[in-house]
Amino acid sequence: MKPTSVLDTIHQPSDIKKLTPQELPALCREIRRELVSTLSRTGGHLASNLGTVELTVALHRVFESPHDQIVWDVGHQSYTHKLLTGRRDRFSTLRQEGGLSGFPKHQESEHDAFLAGHSSTSISAAYGLVTAKRLQGDDGHVVAVIGDGAFTSGLAYEGMNNAGRSRDNLIIVLNDNEMSISKNVGALAKYLAVIRSKPEYFKVKDFTESTLKKIPVVGEKLRDSISASKSAFKQLLYHSNFFEDFGYVYLGPVNGHDVDSLCEVLERAKSLHMPVLVHIETTKGKGYSPAERNPGAFHGVSKFEIKTGEPLKKGGENFSSVFGRELTRLAREDKRICAITAAMQDGTGLDGFAQEFRPQGRFFDVGIAESHAVTFSCGLAANGMLPVFAVYSTFLQRSYDQVLHDASIEQKHIVLAVDRAGIVGDDGETHQGVFDVAMLSSIPGIIIYSPASFRQLTRCLRSALYEDAGVVAVRYPRGGEPAFPPGYPDQGGDYSYYGGGETLIVTYGRLSAEAAQAVELLKGQGKKVSLLALTKIFPLSEEVLALVSSHQEVLFVEEGIRSGSIGEHLASRLVERGYRGKFTLRAIENQFVPQASIPSALHSLGLDAQGIANTIIGESL
């Protein structure tokens, strides 16, 4: 078929090098149309990808992928990269079950150098990649593309510090769009604003070096002499440069939407054969006006109407919004309550809290710094405040040491509001919230709640705030309230028990509704089954253990990893009590759960109503 557009001619990255400079802007426009069109049908990360179109084109025009490797920090801005590396024909499957991942995956393409789904790993990974190249005699380059939001994480500085001492072909592209997910905060954001507003030093430096080079015989010596005293020159003109102090050649700021300028600066960085930091400025949501106006709302989108940007399906009440509203109400009653987020104000439902309590200094967005958020919360607690750290389950994993060491040893009373607990769906392995229970339940003195309804969430949040304990976690799923069949009212307290038979299903959280539906399915087949739906899931009380022990057959179903699960804790406690009945645990069998819709994932794992019923009656899944 004859190509009808510039994008139609791109089947691999080397094809970009065949284009004329005049064709590159057209290619970028076509990519943006493809992104908007596809994501309006599949959902995904839109604003971040629209902001990195020219950068991606320039990277593939200058470098030789996969020999030269590109590491995308977080990876949610790699959609253009996928389009340009032979995956356009599958792009419509993005984030669908069995389709393309929304993040880089080496198993998917040799052009994806490193798996990414969490922030701030790119510099460390890229330094490891380029070091391995050098040790193997490979002179290829490695480029780490990292956003200014990701630079709020300490891991980025650990990588920067270590790599800056090398002489390797490492290039860091700092994509400065003044956004992470929520708007950037902190000292680094202010520092980058200064750099953006005062590029004089770099202009003078470039002009001076180029002029001196042209002077016959003595030009190079004069340039070297001035370079030796450049610190004084910088101090006079610019007050020094943070990145150069780390050991990097600094190039920028550069217009991140000018392909020619990007290619020029990347060629220059490539020629230096040492660590270089290229600072580019981009606009998140570039080229699609609804996303430009409100990039936060278009960070992650569901299906939407292209013309207006409005979602095709209006979002209703969800656990995050209920949490945020209830925490705001409680904070009006108790001035000790503070809320902390790690660049996820919108996602964790804290918009209303921030609006009301930021002026009072009781709302803190610490940037992408989950470890700091926990220890900061501990400091607040040590001096009498009631801190609530709202964080996605998958990102809480980054704070294990702080929860264990800083919070638990001396029992600092902090509340972890663990959002997106359990299966989250289309973002896949990197974002499934299935490890938090196993992680947290290993920590001495911790209390964990897992509500199944909005009403339970509000009750658990209040209990968590005023528990006489150290760390208390309240974990809840993504999305709306699960549907319970009639006859399963919330009984209050730490659990709800619905009797009926000698066989007992035990579960918690969202699966409580699935288990209740399974009981109804089994009832229709003449099998009577009891249900114990836990709300306070750890530690297990003697009352719960006695109730479970009174049944001859027990099935524990859990939307979490099997190893270290509540089901394992329960089984161990039952053995200690001399339980002689039959105990079966159905959980996620120590695996990473691939992308799929939540209902599909639960079904494939045998954790939906039918799967639970099948386990009871002994049918194969």
- For the beta carbon of residue 572, count every other beta carbon within 10 angstroms: 10
Residues labelled catalytic: 284, 370, 398
Q: CA–CA separation, 507 vs 565, rounded Å?
A: 11
Q: Give the angle subtended at the CA of 349 by the CAs of 347 and 351, to the nearest 5°.
A: 100
pLDDT digits over 463-495, tens only? Answer: 999 999 999 999 999 999 999 999 999 999 999
- Residue labelled with tokens 């494939």: 604
What was the pLDDT predicted at 13? 96
Cβ neighbours of residue 391 closer than 8 Å, sequence gap 6 or more: 341, 342, 344, 348, 370, 373, 399, 416, 417, 418, 419
What was the pLDDT predicted at 72? 96
Q: Which residues of the chain have pLDDT under 50?
A: 180-182, 196-202, 222, 226-239, 619-621
Phi, psi of 399, rounded to the nearest 5 degrees:
-115, 15
Encoded amino acid at 148, one letter: D
**Token pair in block for residue 447:** 């209390």
Q: What is the pTM of this model?
A: 0.88
- For the beta carbon of residue 516, count every other beta carbon within 10 angstroms: 26
Could you tell me which residues are beta bridge partners of residue 279?
174
Q: CA–CA separation, 47 vs 299, rounded Å?
A: 5
- Residue labelled with tokens 């996969």: 66
- For the beta carbon of residue 591, count every other beta carbon within 10 angstroms: 11
Spatial CA neighbour of 340 closest among 370, 315, 313, 312? 370
Phi, psi of 314, rounded to the nearest 5 degrees:
-65, 135
What was the pLDDT predicted at 232? 45
What one-character DSSP code corresponds to residue 381?
H
pLDDT digits over 319-352, tens only? Answer: 999 999 999 999 999 999 999 999 999 999 999 9
Spatial CA neighbour of 195 closest among 159, 144, 244? 244
Q: CA–CA separation, 100 vs 86, rounded Å?
A: 12
Reported residue count of the chain is 621
Q: CA–CA separation, 303 vs 547, rounded Å?
A: 46
Q: CA–CA separation, 75 vs 80, rounded Å?
A: 11
Cβ neighbours of residue 465 closer than 8 Å, sequence gap 6 or more: 330, 334, 337, 386, 388, 415, 472
Encoded amino acid at 324, one letter: G
